[in-house]
Amino acid sequence: MEIINGLQPETFWTHFYNLTRIPHESGNEAGVRKYAADFADRHGLQYKIDVIGNIVIKRPASPGKENSPSVVIQGHMDMVCEKNRDKVHDFAVDPISLVIEDGWLKADGTTLGADNGVAVAAGLAVLESDEQLGPIEVLLTVDEETGLTGAMELDESIVDSRILINLDSEEDGVIYVGCAGGKNTEGFIPVDFDAVPAGYKTYSIVLKGLKGGHSGGEIHMGRGNANILGVRFLRKSAEKFDTRLAFIEGGGKHNAIPREFFATLLVKNSDAAGFEVYAAEYAGIIKSEFKIPEPNLEFWAKPGDEKAEQVYSIDSQRRIYDLVYSIPHGVIKMSRVLENLVETSTNLARIELLVNGKGVEGVNDTGETEFFILSCNRSSVDTECDDISDRVAACVSAAGGRSEFCHEYPGWDPNPDSEILKKAKAAYKNANGTDAKIKAIHAGLECGVIGKKFETMDMISFGPELADVHTPGEKMKIDSVKKTWKFLIELLRMV
C-alpha cells in the first residue's frame, strides 16, 4: 500500500487500493461484493443482495438529519480487462500493478479499474465517514461493462431512495445530466478453408500502439481503428499480389476502440519482394495519416516462422476483407441540440474466427466455425441507433452472413427542472470556487436504465478525471479525486 501513502482522502484511497487486489472482470464480481458485504458487517450496516448479484448498503440518517431525503450513491463493481499483448497478466487471479506518473495513478500494462472502482471506493468511504448526513444507500451493480446487466435486472425493492448520484463519469468539473442509449450488432459469416498452398512465404502482420479508448467517450477524437487499418492493408495487398489469409484477429471488448490487429498472410514467393516494399510504403502512409492522433502507431509485415495449418478460401478471404472494410466506424452524426455532443456513432470492436462456435469475445449457438464481427452502436436518438445497427447488419448480409442484436439499453434524457442538479451546481461552487459544466455524454450510463425503472428518480452523474479508459493506458488524476470528494460531501450535506 506504500504507493497510496499520503493520498487524500485516505479512506477512499485505501478502498481503491484494496479493490485493485481483487479480480473483478465483468461476470466475476463476487470478490468485490464480498468485500462490500464484509465492510457492512464490520460497520453494523444493513445490506441487501438481489438475485442478479447487485448489493445495496444502507446507512441510517445522522441524529438531526432524519427528515432529510434518502440518497443512493451508485456505480458498478466490474471493470474492463484489457492488457497489452506482451503483458503477462491473468485478470482472474492477478492484482493490478500500480504506478504513479506525473500526477496520475495508472496500471502497468493493463486497465486500472478506476472505471468504476471510483464509485465503489467513494461509496464505502461515505458510509464510514463522520459527516452528519441524511440516510445514504450505496448501490453497486454487476456486469455493467458487457451489457448493463445489473441495472437491467435490478430488483427495485432493494432501493428506497429517489435521488441518485452516479459516480461513473470521467471528467473533472462536469456534471452529466444525460447519456446515449445503444446496442451491439453481432455478425456471423460462414467461411471455408483450403489446404496451405506450396510456393508461398509466410508473413506476420502486426498493427499496434494505437490509443484505443472508450467507444463512447473517445469516439469523436479521430483515433485509428486497428481492425479497419489492418484489413485495409490486407485488402489492398490482395489486389496487388497473390496472397492467402491464414489468420486474422483484432480488437477486444465491445466498448473499446480496437488498439491491436494481428494476421498471418501467405505471399507467393515471386511476389514476396514487391509485397515487402508495399508493406513499408503502407506503414509510412498510415503513420503520416495518423501522426497527430496516433503518434505511437506501429505496423509491420515480417517473415514468420509459424506454420499455417490451413488458409481461408479465396471467396471467404474476399468476403471478410470487404465486410470489415465496409462496416461503418466512428461518428455518424453530431447533435443539433447540444454543442460538441456526438449523437450517433458505431465502433467496429472485434473480429475473430469462432472455432467450433467459440472465440475470445464471440460465441454462436450452432457450434459451427464462423467468422465473427462485433459492432457497438450508440445514439441519443433510439431510431438512429436502430438505423446504424441495421446498416452494420446490411454489410454482414452482403457478406453472406447473419446478424443478431443484443445488449440493448435506453438513453437518459436531461431534466432541466432537476432539483438535485440545482443543488449540485451550488455544492460544486461552494466546494471548489468555480462553476461546474453541465453536459450530456455519448457513452451509456446506468442512469438510463435505472431511470426507466424508477420514473421519479432524480439523477446526476460525475466523477474525477480519468483518461484512456478501457485501454491499458487507463489513468486517474490524483488531485481530481480530492476535488470530487469535496463536491460529493458538500452535495450530500445540502440534500
Separation of alpha carbons 2 and 453, rounded Å: 42
387 and 308: one domain?
A: yes
Q: How many domains does the chain have?
A: 2
Nearest Cα residue to 79 out of 474, 374, 491, 352: 474
CA distances from 154 to 73, 143, 178, 448, 459 (A): 15, 11, 20, 13, 17
CB 172 within 8 A of CB 484: yes
Backbone angles phi, psi at 154, to 5 degrees: -55, 130
Helices and strands in the chain: count of H runs, count of E runs: 12, 23
Q: Check if 94 is active-site.
A: no
* pLDDT tens track for 113-164: 999 999 999 999 999 999 999 999 999 999 999 889 999 999 999 999 999 9
Average pLDDT over residues 182-204: 97
Domain's final residue, options 382, 409, 436 = 409
Average pLDDT over residues 291-302: 97
pLDDT higher than threshold 90 for residue 48: yes
Separation of alpha carbons 375 and 256, rounded Å: 10
Average pLDDT over residues 365-386: 96
Q: What pLDDT score was predicted for residue 413?
A: 87
* Grid coordinates belonging to 333: 452524426
CATH number of the domain that 198 lies in?
Answer: 3.30.70.360
Residue 344: domain span? 183-409
405 and 415: one domain?
A: no
Backbone angles phi, psi at 411, to 5 degrees: -85, 180
383 and 468: one domain?
A: no
Q: What pLDDT score was predicted for residue 288?
A: 98
204 and 350: one domain?
A: yes
CB 56 within 8 A of CB 137: yes
Of the candidates 29, 50, 78, 490, the residue annotated as catalytic is: 78
Nearest Cα residue to 402 out of 364, 440, 367, 376: 364
* pLDDT tens track for 67-124: 999 999 999 999 999 998 889 999 999 999 999 999 999 999 999 999 999 999 999 9
Q: Check if 78 is active-site.
A: yes
Average pLDDT over residues 311-337: 96
Backbone angles phi, psi at 434, to 5 degrees: -135, 165
**pTM of the complete model:** 0.82
Backbone angles phi, psi at 141, to 5 degrees: -105, 165
Domain's final residue, options 385, 409, 433 = 409
CB 210 within 8 A of CB 298: no
Q: What pLDDT score was predicted for residue 305?
A: 81
* Grid coordinates belonging to 326: 465496409
Separation of alpha carbons 64 and 429, rounded Å: 25
167 and 20: one domain?
A: yes
CB 377 within 8 A of CB 389: yes
149 and 212: one domain?
A: no
325 and 299: one domain?
A: yes
* Grid coordinates belonging to 134: 441524511
Q: What is the DSSP letter of 471?
A: S
174 and 187: one domain?
A: no
CA 303 to chain centre: 34
311 and 385: one domain?
A: yes
CATH number of the domain that 6 lies in?
Answer: 3.40.630.10
pLDDT higher than threshold 90 for residue 61: yes
Separation of alpha carbons 472 and 104, rounded Å: 14
* Grid coordinates belonging to 401: 452472413
Domain's final residue, options 359, 382, 409 = 409
* Grid coordinates belonging to 100: 504513479
Of the candidates 29, 50, 82, 144, the residue annotated as catalytic is: 144
Other C-beta atoms closer than 10 Å to the C-beta of 460 total 23
Instruction: Mean pLDDT check: name the lowest of 232-246, 404-418, 476-490.
Output: 404-418
Q: What pLDDT score was predicted for residue 443?
A: 87
Q: What pLDDT score was predicted for residue 363?
A: 96
Separation of alpha carbons 50 and 73, rounded Å: 17
Q: What pLDDT score was predicted for residue 416?
A: 83
259 and 164: one domain?
A: no
Other C-beta atoms closer than 10 Å to the C-beta of 317 total 23
466 and 340: one domain?
A: no
288 and 375: one domain?
A: yes
Average pLDDT over residues 378-393: 95
